[in-house]
Structure 1
């Protein structure tokens, strides 16, 4: 019984060393992704796009279309679709950008109006001796000039980064085409390099599973988000909000970032409501109808369409999006969920990182029952 106290500290030190190594490895990986984002982001984004569109390429190849032509057709249709959507939204978006100073002024006036109403209510409840005369500083609106002037540096920054963005977009397009054309050859070479037949089967199974499940996930989520965008467009049109198509498309795009995207759009629609309507009740109706649609989508439609297999813990989903947003910006937020789904599929199908699956699960009772 005497050796036990001597062995236990050694075991504790070993566990602490392993934990410290894991934390250092995780930090090294995160900083590598952060500092090499200009190199890694186009590659990973192109690989994900190729993964999503590869079923369409295989469909065209099955129709006796040559693979280079099929890959070019699919990629061209994708670019045309995105370009057409951007052309439709360019004028409304530019109009709202021009209205930003007006938006700041009107919001300031709305805030001042509500503040004056509260002040008058407060004054009516106070005795005359407690009332203080209004000063000139109370009539100033520093928020107006602050928002208006802060918009100019933003435009300057966007102009400076336009060339870099165009180069990265061209890189993504070229890499996507190469992934569609030679991705299968690369996979076959990887399988051929495996040492045993069991490893070769696992590699093929892993690729087919990820491709099938990710393609299904993206198709279902895209359909659901498109329906949410259409519903948002129709409801805002009925209310009388200007440029409902712009807000419908934004609802579709931002909903690819669960929780965070709808929150951002809710703030935007709140500001739009106060610009479009004079009554606070009508103004708050604009974000309220979107919140109702988003709750129906997130709590009823999406769980029924995807099932528990893709159901994940909301807290970890938001943290994951914040991490990838810090690493790769807005694009990182949008591709964070497909990356998370890829990791969950790999972990669940090949029985690795079981603690990762348990952490991601939104229902702890499922694992307790097992």
Structure 2
């Protein structure tokens, strides 16, 4: 008995010593899996971006297709009409704003030169106030110096020429503009292909997606709780559509209010800046900061380095504070509120992975993750972290 007991004790010690090693290997494996997923998301972004964007749009429009089907409207017709309704306003707005946007892009070098000259003028005034005046000394020839006979031919040394900062800034902006144009031109085929792929995917998801989804839920053994899966998808669809529609209406009203105030006070191309702030406001927090910086440049161009230059950005900042601190929380409610720091970190991650589209899709993806975790009842500590205020 003693031998058996000692043998069992040795086995327990052996297994207890191997548990930390197994736990370390598990953590290492989980870390490697996370890095593999991140690398896959980054590497396959040209494929995943159209898929994710199309899935979100189809998820929002599919209830309308189902509603039209009740009135015997074929899904192909209703899907085509919905896509046309979705594309038409953006196409009209792009055509209307193309001319002022092109004019501003062409005037960027001139704007940079004017701003640089204004800054140099202010810097020269500051230097004139801060630099002590030079002490006048009697020339050597008037003092009867031994070398005074050289003074008739000598000329005072010329000051070193100033660097032409305005031209250098203008050249840099022109070069950056050329590089940007070449980059856009080289990426244009891929962008056009992705846009067309998105339209095609949205159409086919609206027409054939519901039937495929029901077959997947009903027949695939991987879905164990079919009722729960249907409830999960329905909740994601409802909350996500409510969020996107509400945010779209709020941002549109913000853009219209900004354009109206700018037009009233005489800001040039008020509609362009209203559309810009409405689009950039889809990116929480960071979009408002970027809009303020752009409007500050607009004020500097139109009013110069005066106090009126802060008028466009100041007006937008006041409207944005009212929208973000009063209107949006009251309309969305607390259930859709997310921690601001978590949002900014998540935007940085998705922007690094997928660029501009990743920034626009960041909050909807985060909301989907939150809804899925809530319905599955897992990682409650992560849900509390996302919702914390």
Q: What TM-score does the superposition give when structure 2 sets the normalisation length?
A: 0.85
Q: State the 1:279 CA deviation.
A: 4.2
Q: Equivalences for 1:200-279 in 2 at 5 Å?
A: 200-279=226-305
Query: Aligned pair in 2 of structure 1 residues 38, 197: CA closer, same or farther (>3 Å)?
Result: closer
Structure 1 residue 47, shift from structure 2 partner: 0.5
Of 21, 46, 54 in structure 2, the residue corresponding to residue 46 of structure 1 is 54
Kept in 1, the 8 Å contact 2:118–2:305? The answer is no
User: 1:195 and 1:161 mapped to 2: Cα distance?
Assistant: 42
* 1:76-95 alignment runs, 5 A limit: 76-95=84-103
- Structure showing greater Rg: 2
Q: Does 1:65 align with 2:73?
A: yes
How far apart are residue 61 of structure 1 and its match? Answer: 2.2
Partner in structure 2 of residue 104 of structure 1: 112
Q: Would you say the 8 A contact 1:314–1:362 is kept in 2? A: no
Identify the residue that residue 328 of structure 1 maps to in structure 2.
354
Rounded to whole Å, the distance in 1 between the matches of 2:178 and 2:240 is 41
Q: Give deviations 1:10-55, integer Å, cap 9, x for gaps.
A: 6555544443333222211111011111111111111111112223
Deviations 1:280-328 (A, max 9, x none): 2111121111111111111111111111111111111111111111111
> Partner of 2:378: helix, strand, or coil?
coil
Per the alignment, in what secondary structure is the counterpart of residue 267 of structure 2?
A: coil
SS in 2 for 1:318: helix
Query: Which structure 1 residue ranges, 5 or more long, are not aligned?
Result: 364-370
1:368 corresponds to: none
Work out whether 1:35 is the aligned partner of 2:43.
yes
Change (3 A) 1:294 1:14: farther
Q: 1:240-265: per-residue Cα shift (whole Å, max 9, x none)?
A: 21111111111111111111212222
1:349, distance to aligned residue in structure 2 (A): 2.6
Q: Which of 110, 116, 119 does residue 124 from structure 2 map onto?
A: 116
Is 2:49 the partner of 1:24?
Answer: no
| Rounded Cα–Cα distance in structure 2 between residues aligned with 1:238 and 1:320 | 38
**Matched residues, number:** 358
Alignment of 1:72-221 (within 5 A): 72-123=80-131, 126=132, 128=134, 135-137=160-162, 140-141=165-166, 142-195=168-221, 199-221=225-247
Change (3 A) 1:90 1:208: same
CA distance in 2, matches of 1:232, 1:38: 35
Query: Is the helix fraction higher in 1 or 2?
Result: 1
Which residue matches 2:314? 288
Kindly report structure 1 stretches of 4+ aligned residues shifted beyond 6 Å.
2-9
Choose 311-320 or 14-23, whichever is displaced more.
Answer: 14-23
- How large is the RMSD of aligned CA atoms in angstroms? 2.5
Q: Deviations over 1:315-370 (max 9, x none)?
A: 1111111111111111111111111111111112331221221221132xxxxxxx
Query: How big is the shift at 1:188?
Result: 0.3
Separation of aligned partners in 2, 1:343 and 1:260: 21
C-alpha displacement of 1:200: 0.5
User: In structure 2, do the counterparts of structure 1 residues 309 and 121 end up closer, same or farther at CA, with 3 Å as the change threshold?
Assistant: farther
Q: CA deviation at 1:98?
A: 0.9
Contact kept? 1:348, 1:357, Cα under 8 Å? yes
Map Cα deviations across residues 139-187 of structure 1 (whole Å, 9 max, x no partner). 5422222112221111111112112111111110000001111111121
Structure 2 Cα separation of the partners of residues 301 and 5 of structure 1: 63
Instruction: Say whether the 8 Å CA contact 2:116–2:165 is kept in structure 1.
Output: no
1:104–1:148 CA contact under 8 A, matched in 2: no
188-197 vs 62-71, greater mean Cα deviation: 188-197
1:307 to 333, 337, 345: 333
Relative distance call for 1:97 and 1:277 in structure 2 (3 A) is: same
